[in-house]
Amino acid sequence: MATQIVIPNVGESVTSGIISTWTVEDGAYVERDETVLELETDKVTMEVPAPASGIVKHGASEGDEVDVGATVGEIDESAEKPAGGGDGDATPEPEASAPAPKAEATPAPAPAAASAPAPAAAVATAPAAPASNSEAKATPLARKLADDQGVDLKQISGTGAAGRIREQDVLAWIQTHQNGAAGATAAPASAGVVREAKQERMSPMRQAIASRLVEAQQTAAMLTTFNEVDMGAVMDLRKQHKEKFGEKHGVNLGFMSFFVKATTQALQKFPLINAYITQGDNGKPAIEHHNYNDVAIAVSGPKGLVVPVLRNAEQMTFAEIEKNIKDMALRARDGKITLEEMQGGTFTITNGGIFGSLMSTPILNPPQSAILGMHGIKKRAIEYPAGSGQIALRPMMYLAVSYDHRIVDGAEAVQFLVSIKDAIEDPARLMLDL
């Protein structure tokens, strides 16, 4: 009896995806609910579990685009589980190495091997696989091929999901670096440099990000206003309480929670920044207002930035904000963010400072009307305290708010950013809701 492997329904707006990786080899035994493949869509990357236990038969290849509901393989339930449990390898290691003792058991050819250069050369071109291959992020087929050919997977850049090395990547590397080495005439060995140019498929998520960014620039009247904020007060408060905060709540006290609280307070003062333009019942443009703050936090994942949403952020405590951000960051790293978690934000915060950015112009996340950009903290000489005529080195951060001028006026955007600046420079405002 065979059970079909079917692409599940991910969400209403997702109709297809790309098989980025088969995590189980063709012909290998799999347990029910074990992940058999990774499906990459324009929104999320999801794992597809095995619907039954048995032998897997691939019906589609890595890189194929498949529709929701399509059959991409099957599982033979009548097959017996291999002795020893079956770990997903179609050819277990002991069998692969079995011929070696057989060769050693024949003493006669030994003298001939010593005088014959050809076998020696064969051994040299296929050395034992590096031990590091077992730790590399690669598909089982890719790892087996690398082991058979003595290829160090650390030398190969993967084109699969999250940089996973696929069988095609190993074959391409062998073609370039091993097979091509014998008769290469285009580039002399003395050059010491191998020039390469390759194309890789743009992932559905990357395509979606590109499309939305272009849409934002083509449809919105986007402007950016800048300011700078003295981070000294927040840094002192954080230093004073972070140890006790961590002990009580089980999470570190970061800067992002301060900015989320400051942002939600500012959004309540300037509600148009929390609204966006939509189509009204009469088919004409309308403004959709929100009495809640669903703040999207840009989080870096293996395939790029994703923007999961903190629902009702205005009601969250510092600890709740930090816990949610930590959870989102971990799941973004593992590709576990769901489609629902990235929909419906009313405002976005992005922090380029963690990558070393000093200043940038963030692009709107449609249909939202504004986005806050945080940047790196650098000590700069400023007048401190204000109005004293004294100069001091202070930890400063540039802030940027990009906004849709169709709905938000410049004065409102400037005041919104100043409100955030004032709250960060005097954190008591956050505690007292001032």
User: What's the CATH code of the domain at 280?
Assistant: 3.30.559.10
Three-class DSSP category at 46: strand
Q: Which of 148, 236, 334, 405 is catalytic?
A: 405
**pTM exceeds 0.85:** no
**Do 401 and 288 share a structural domain?**
yes
pLDDT along the chain (434 residues), means of 10: 82 72 86 84 75 88 83 84 56 43 44 41 50 73 80 82 74 71 48 75 68 75 95 94 93 94 96 92 90 90 77 94 90 76 90 90 91 95 90 96 95 96 92 75
Question: Is 409 a catalytic site residue?
Answer: yes
Residue 113 in any domain: the answer is: no
**Do 345 and 308 share a structural domain?**
yes
**Do 178 and 69 share a structural domain?**
no
Paired residues of 278 in beta bridges: 286
pLDDT at 424 (0 to 100)? 96
- Tell me phi and psi for residue 403, to 5 degrees: -145, 160
pLDDT at 421 (0 to 100)? 97
Residue 354 in any domain: the answer is: yes
Which residue among 87, 108, 129 closes a domain?
108
Residue 191 in any domain: the answer is: no
pLDDT at 79 (0 to 100)? 76
pLDDT at 422 (0 to 100)? 95
pLDDT at 427 (0 to 100)? 92
- CATH number (domain holding residue 131): 4.10.320.10
- Tell me phi and psi for residue 111, to 5 degrees: -60, -40
Residue 407 in any domain: the answer is: yes
pLDDT at 98 (0 to 100)? 42
DSSP letters spanning 193-260? --------PPPHHHHHHHHHHHHHHHHS-EEEEEEEEE-HHHHHHHHHHHHHHHHHHSS---SHHHHH
Three-class DSSP category at 33: coil
**Do 60 and 3 share a structural domain?**
yes
Residue 35 in any domain: the answer is: yes
Which residue among 51, 75, 108 closes a domain?
108
pLDDT at 103 (0 to 100)? 42
pLDDT at 184 (0 to 100)? 47
Paired residues of 380 in beta bridges: 394
The tokens describing 190, both together, are: 């003395």
Which residue among 52, 84, 108 closes a domain?
108
pLDDT at 179 (0 to 100)? 54
**Do 177 and 288 share a structural domain?**
no
H helix count then E strand count, the chain? 13, 19
**Do 293 and 169 share a structural domain?**
no
By residue range, what is the domain housing residue 19?
1-108
Q: Which of 26, 230, 409, 426 is catalytic?
A: 409
- CATH number (domain holding residue 78): 2.40.50.100
**Do 312 and 163 share a structural domain?**
no
pLDDT at 390 (0 to 100)? 93
